[in-house]
């Protein structure tokens, strides 16, 4: 435990670096494409790569590369935001469960169990049906879906850390609960929590991809990677890059971050 905390700084650099790379691609990528992702010309649909369209065109004859960069932007940013939401709320609740009165832990524990028992697609479907497909609704929904998991991780971590002697000493010194949470417990959870953030980010990418199956995703003409795969699914019959490339990008995104996490946490 202690060793894990101590080694966090150097080891998680790689994960952070990878996340920063994807974030940069998300923010700057669309600027690199000369094509308006919404532009519909007179090109044929599902055309093969050409000089004008490096990755061909999609089911409406739009430029696949432009759509792809747009899709990366939304998938990465949405998933990043929802992961942040779930991890911060989960961490907060997890620490609260450990530091507050016992009924808080009982209550949050039951809530987490309850949420986990509802299939995530069903939950997303219900919430989106109520609030409609907006970016905020998506972030909140996915955030809520992954909060119980983050809560479990953080509660387990906080429980272990709260038992360590340096926390005992701080309490004996008479430090306030906020100080203990913010200065003693939280900084030591960051390492393992980053691993958790990475995993949850991947789950979010996958969930978002599958949500597109139910027609839930960002508003057109914007697109996320999953919806892009979904809307170009028919291109499979023609081997269209419009369908294949986003699948590959999802794979590279998730597997890459996962491997970086694995190597950084020593795969324990």
Partner 1 sequence: MAATIQVENLEIVGRRGKGAELPIVRDVSFSVQRGEMLALIGESGSGKTTVALSLLGHIRKGCRIAGGMIRVAGYDVTALSPHECRSIRGRVISYVAQNAGSAFNPALSIMRQVVEPALVHRTLPRRDLEARAVSLFRALALPDPETIGERYPGELSGGQLQRLMAAMALMTDPEVVIFDEPTTALDVTTQIEVLSAFKAVFAERGITGVYVTHDLSVVAQIADHAVVLKDGAIREAGTVSKILFQPEDPYSQALLAAAEPRSRQADLAGQPEQRSLLDVRNLVVGYGQRTAAGLPEKVIVNHVSFSVPKGRMLGVIGESGCGKSTLARAISGLQPWAAGELLLNGEPLAGNVRERTPDQRRHLQLVAQNADSVLNPSKPIGQTLERVVRFYGGLRGAAATRRVNELLDMVRLSPSLASRLPSELSGGQKQRINFARALAADPQIVLCDEITAALDTVVAAAILDLMKELQRDLGLSFIFITHDLHALQSICDRVAVLYAGQAVEVGPAMALGKGVHHPYTRLLHDSVPLMEPGWLESTRIKRADEAMPATLLNSLSHDPELCCFLERCPDRVSGLCDRVPPPVRSVPEGPRVLCHLPASICSEFST
Partner 2 sequence: MNSQTLKLIGRRFFAAAMSLIFVIVTVFAITNVLPGDATDAVLGQGATPQAVAVMRHDLGLDRSVFFRFWFWLWGVLHGDFGHSLLNGLSVADAIGPRLHNSLLLAGASAAVSVPVSLFLGITSAIWKDTVYDRVVSIMTLGMVSVPEFVIATMAVYVFAVRLHLLPALADVGSVHSLRQFLSVFFMPVASLALVTLAQMVRMTRAAMADTLSAPYIEMALLKGVGPIRLILVHAIPNAIGPIVNAVALSLSSLLGGVVVIEVVFTYPGISGLMVDAVSSRDVPTVQACALVFCVTYLFLTTFADVVTILSLPRGRKA
Partner 3 sequence: MQAASVLHRRSVLKGAGLLVAGMTSQSVKAAPVSGGHLKVAGAVGSASETLDPARQSMATDYIRGHLFYDGLISLDDRLNPHFALAEALDSNDFLTWQIRLRRNVQFHDGTALTADDVVFSLRRHQDPGVGSQQYALARTMQSVRAVSPVLVEIVLDAPNSDFPAILGISNFAIVKAGTTDFKVPNGTGPFRCQEFTPGIRTVAVRNSEFWGERPYLESVELIAIPDEMARHNALMSGDVDLIATVNPRLVQMLKQGGFGIVESPVGTYTDLSIRLDQRYGRSPDFVEGIKFLLNREQIRHSVFLGFSRVGNDQPIPPESPYFNHQLPQRSYDPDKAQFLLKRSGFLGETIPLVCSPAALASVDIAVVLQYAASQIGQKMAVHRVPADGYWTQYWMKAPLGFGNINPRPAPSLTFELGFASTSPWNESRWRNSHFDSLLRDAKSTRDNSRKRQLYWDMQELVSSGSGVCIPNFTNSLDAYAPHVCGLRPSQAGQLMGYDFARSVWLNENRGKKV
Q: Give the residues lining the site for partner 2 (CB under 8 A).
A: 109-111, 113-114, 116-122, 125-127, 129-130, 202, 205-206, 209-210, 212-214, 226, 229-230, 233, 236-237, 247, 250-251, 253-255, 258-259, 262, 267-268
CA 96-101-106 angle, 5° bins:
80
Closer residue to partner 2, CB minimum distance, 81 or 127: 127
Quick check: 25 binds partner 3 (CB under 8 A)?
no
**d(C-alpha 184, C-alpha 161), whole Å:** 9
Q: Looking up tokens 């065109």, which residue turns up?
A: 57
Instruction: Give the binding-site size for partner 1 (rule: CB under 8 A).
Output: 22
Q: Binding partner 1 by CB under 8 A: which of 38, 54, 109, 171?
A: 171
Closer residue to partner 3, CB minimum distance, 143 or 235: 235
Name every residue whose Cβ is closer than 8 Å to that of residue 124 and which is 6 or more positions away in sequence: 141, 142, 145, 207, 211, 214, 216
Task: Decide: 29 and 225 in contact? Cβ < 8 Å.
Answer: no
CA 224 to chain centre: 13
Task: Decide: 258 and 198 in contact? Cβ < 8 Å.
Answer: yes
Closest by Cα among 117, 126, 115, 140 to 214: 126
- Please report, for residues 81, 123, 135, 138, 144, the alpha-carbon distance to residue 141 in angstroms, rounded to integers and kept in the order given: 11, 8, 10, 5, 5
Quick check: 219 binds partner 1 (CB under 8 A)?
no
Q: Binding partner 3 by CB under 8 A: which of 5, 54, 60, 111?
A: 60
Instruction: Give the binding-site size for partner 3 (rule: CB under 8 A).
Output: 25
Task: Decide: 210 and 192 in contact? Cβ < 8 Å.
Answer: no
Contact region for partner 1 (CB under 8 A) — 60-68, 165-173, 224-232, 244-252? 165-173
Quick check: 109 binds partner 3 (CB under 8 A)?
no
Quick check: 164 binds partner 1 (CB under 8 A)?
yes
Quick check: 178 binds partner 1 (CB under 8 A)?
no
Closer residue to partner 1, CB minimum distance, 28 or 169: 169
Closer residue to partner 3, CB minimum distance, 236 or 244: 236
Site of interaction with partner 1 (CB under 8 A): 1-3, 5-8, 164-166, 168-169, 171-175, 183-184, 187-188, 190
């Amino acid at each position: 435990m202690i060793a894990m905390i101590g080694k966090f700084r150097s080891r998680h650099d790689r994960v952070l670096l990878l996340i920063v790379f994807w974030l940069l691609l998300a923010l700057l990528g669309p600027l690199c494409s000369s094509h308006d992702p919404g532009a519909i010309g007179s090109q044929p649909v599902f055309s093969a790569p050409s000089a004008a369209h490096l990755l061909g065109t999609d089911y409406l004859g739009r430029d696949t590369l432009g759509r792809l960069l747009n899709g990366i932007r939304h998938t990465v940013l949405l998933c990043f935001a929802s992961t942040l939401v779930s991890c911060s709320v989960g961490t907060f609740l997890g620490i609260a469960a450990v530091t507050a009165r016992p009924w808080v832990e009982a209550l949050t524990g039951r809530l987490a169990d309850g949420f986990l028992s509802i299939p995530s697609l069903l939950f997303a479907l219900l919430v989106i049906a109520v609030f409609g497909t907006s970016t905020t609704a998506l972030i909140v929904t996915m955030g809520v879906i992954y909060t119980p998991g983050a809560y479990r991780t953080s509660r387990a971590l906080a429980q272990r850390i709260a038992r360590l002697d340096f926390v005992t000493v701080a309490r004996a010194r008479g430090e306030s609960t906020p100080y203990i949470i913010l200065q003693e417990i939280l900084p030591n959870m960051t390492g393992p929590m980053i691993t958790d953030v990475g995993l949850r980010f991947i789950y979010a990418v996958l969930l978002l991809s599958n949500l597109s199956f139910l027609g839930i995703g960002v508003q057109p003409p914007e697109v996320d990677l999953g919806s892009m795969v979904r809307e170009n699914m028919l291109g499979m019959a023609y081997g269209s890059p419009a369908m294949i490339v986003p699948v590959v990008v999802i794979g590279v995104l998730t597997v890459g971050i996962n491997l970086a996490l694995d190597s950084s946490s020593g795969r324990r």
